[in-house]
């Protein structure tokens, strides 16, 4: 297989998982994106980990994969997560975010109907290309649903578009933009939140699962595409936005001419996740069930310690 974009079935997994070479690698092609040394160091650290790996996960979430990992590596795996579920009161949940945001977020969320809000956060290690940001902004506006959008590392060009198009003014009655860090655990645990549009970073994905919130998956790089497969194909609690290729990160230049997903497709996926129906109701049932499993798993870990 020579193409970076051709799908193949990953061998040896409990489920049928299809990825491209680029998605599995987690970076665009080219020498400047060669992270093989980094991955080698990670594997070496695992070998030296005294025969055990401590994972921020819970075994009920991915039992077959925990079993296969033990078999493949010969190591013990201690699932001690989800760590975010240890945040039990308001002050704990508010800690993960800008100190000025929690009260404002809560007041805004309290004014919305249960399960009506789309929460959008695409991580902190990459800035979205302006043309893609515009498509996402237009989709959120066209969805006619309340939303919180966390904007981190937005480029000057993106900020210019938001200002010139008076985007915040256009959506002020039902949209809340947060620049910088947001109290994510607090937001996800609020009953008004009905969907989480996420980059599928490990912590964020687990926080969404623990909160019992269905996800729209928008992987960016690294292990995000693998996490997307867990959410969409294995536990079946999310739907894909349609991102096919990883982008650059850590401040690298990216292709401003490339649009990852068009606004009409983003809007369609939001409607698919939020509109219910038999499939949507089953997805939410699984979400709530996994959320309860996560909380029980943390209580069990606390009791054992």
Predicted confidence (pLDDT) per residue in 222-242, tens digit: 899 999 999 999 999 999 999
Residue 84 in any domain: the answer is: no
For residues 13 and 123, membership in a common domain is answered with no
Looking at the whole model, is its pTM more than 0.75? yes
Higher pLDDT, 139 or 43: 139
What average pLDDT does the segment 237-257 reach? 75
Confirm if 214 and 287 have CB atoms less than 8 A apart. yes
Domain around 149 = 89-295
Gap between the Cα atoms of 267 and 137, Å rounded: 10
Please give the pLDDT value at position 213. 97
For residues 130 and 228, membership in a common domain is answered with yes
Is the pLDDT reported for residue 29 higher than 70? Answer: no
Residue 301 in any domain: the answer is: no
* DSSP for 113-149, written as a single string: -TT-EEEEE--SS-PPPHHHHHHHHHHHHHTTS-EEE
pLDDT digits (tens, 9 = 90+) for 128-186: 889 999 999 999 999 999 999 999 888 899 999 999 999 999 999 999 999 988 999 99
Residue 136 in any domain: the answer is: yes
Please give the pLDDT value at position 304. 59
Choose the final residue of a domain: 79, 111, 127.
Answer: 79
Report helix, strand or coil for 55: strand
For residues 255 and 194, membership in a common domain is answered with yes
Gap between the Cα atoms of 211 and 213, Å rounded: 6
Gap between the Cα atoms of 246 and 221, Å rounded: 5
For residues 211 and 131, membership in a common domain is answered with yes
For residues 119 and 22, membership in a common domain is answered with no
Report helix, strand or coil for 87: coil
* Residue 289 exposed, middle or buried by CB count within 10 Å (0-12, 13-18, 19+): middle
Choose the final residue of a domain: 79, 102, 120.
Answer: 79
For residues 130 and 250, membership in a common domain is answered with yes
Average pLDDT taken over every residue of the chain: 87
Confirm if 218 and 200 have CB atoms less than 8 A apart. yes
For residues 149 and 258, membership in a common domain is answered with yes
For residues 244 and 276, membership in a common domain is answered with yes
Pick from 290, 115, 296, 117: nearest CA to 207: 290
Higher pLDDT, 87 or 150: 150
What average pLDDT does the segment 28-40 reach? 63
- Provide the 10 A C-beta neighbour count for residue 247: 20
For residues 277 and 169, membership in a common domain is answered with yes
pLDDT digits (tens, 9 = 90+) for 64-86: 999 999 998 888 888 998 988 87
CATH number for 199: 3.40.50.2000
For residues 150 and 225, membership in a common domain is answered with yes
Residue 265 in any domain: the answer is: yes
Please give the pLDDT value at position 50. 66
54 forms bridges with which residues in the sheet?
A: 78
Please give the pLDDT value at position 215. 98
Choose the final residue of a domain: 23, 56, 79.
Answer: 79
Higher pLDDT, 18 or 152: 18
Is the pLDDT reported for residue 303 higher than 80? Answer: no
Is the pLDDT reported for residue 24 higher than 80? Answer: yes
What average pLDDT does the segment 100-112 reach? 88
Residue 2 in any domain: the answer is: no
What's the number of domains the chain is made of? Answer: 2
Residue 201 in any domain: the answer is: yes
Please give the pLDDT value at position 256. 53
Residue 303 in any domain: the answer is: no
Pick from 224, 229, 210, 201: nearest CA to 61: 210
For residues 26 and 124, membership in a common domain is answered with no
For residues 235 and 116, membership in a common domain is answered with yes
């Amino acid at each position: 297989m020579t193409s970076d974009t051709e799908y193949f079935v990953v061998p040896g997994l409990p489920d049928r998982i299809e990825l491209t070479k680029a998605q599995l690698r987690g970076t665009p092609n080219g020498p400047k994106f060669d992270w093989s040394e980094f991955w080698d160091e990670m594997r070496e650290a695992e070998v030296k980990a005294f025969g055990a790996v401590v994972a921020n996960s819970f075994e009920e979430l991915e039992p077959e994969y925990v079993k296969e990992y033990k078999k493949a590596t010969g190591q013990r795996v201690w699932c001690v997560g989800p760590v975010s579920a240890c945040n039990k009161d308001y002050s704990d949940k508010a800690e993960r975010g800008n100190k000025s945001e929690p009260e404002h977020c809560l007041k805004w969320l309290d004014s919305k109907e249960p399960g009506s809000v789309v929460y959008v956060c695409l991580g902190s290690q990459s800035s979205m290309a302006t043309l893609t940001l515009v498509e996402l902004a237009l989709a959120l506006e066209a969805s006619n649903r309340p939303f919180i959008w966390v904007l981190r590392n937005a480029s000057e060009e993106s900020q210019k578009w938001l200002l010139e198009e008076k985007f915040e003014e256009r959506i002020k009655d039902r949209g809340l933009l947060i620049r910088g860090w947001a109290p994510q655990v607090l937001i996800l645990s609020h009953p008004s939140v009905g969907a989480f549009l996420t980059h599928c970073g490990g912590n964020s994905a687990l926080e969404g699962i623990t909160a019992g919130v269905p996800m729209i998956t928008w992987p960016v790089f690294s292990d995000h595409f693998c996490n997307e497969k867990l959410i969409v194909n294995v536990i079946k609690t999310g739907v894909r936005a349609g991102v096919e290729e990883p982008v650059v990160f850590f401040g690298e230049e990216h292709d401003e001419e490339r649009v990852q997903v068009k606004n009409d497709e983003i809007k369609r996926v939001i409607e698919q996740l939020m509109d219910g129906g038999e499939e949507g109701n089953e997805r939410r049932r699984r979400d709530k069930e996994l959320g309860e499993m996560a909380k029980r798993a943390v209580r069990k870990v606390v009791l054992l310690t």
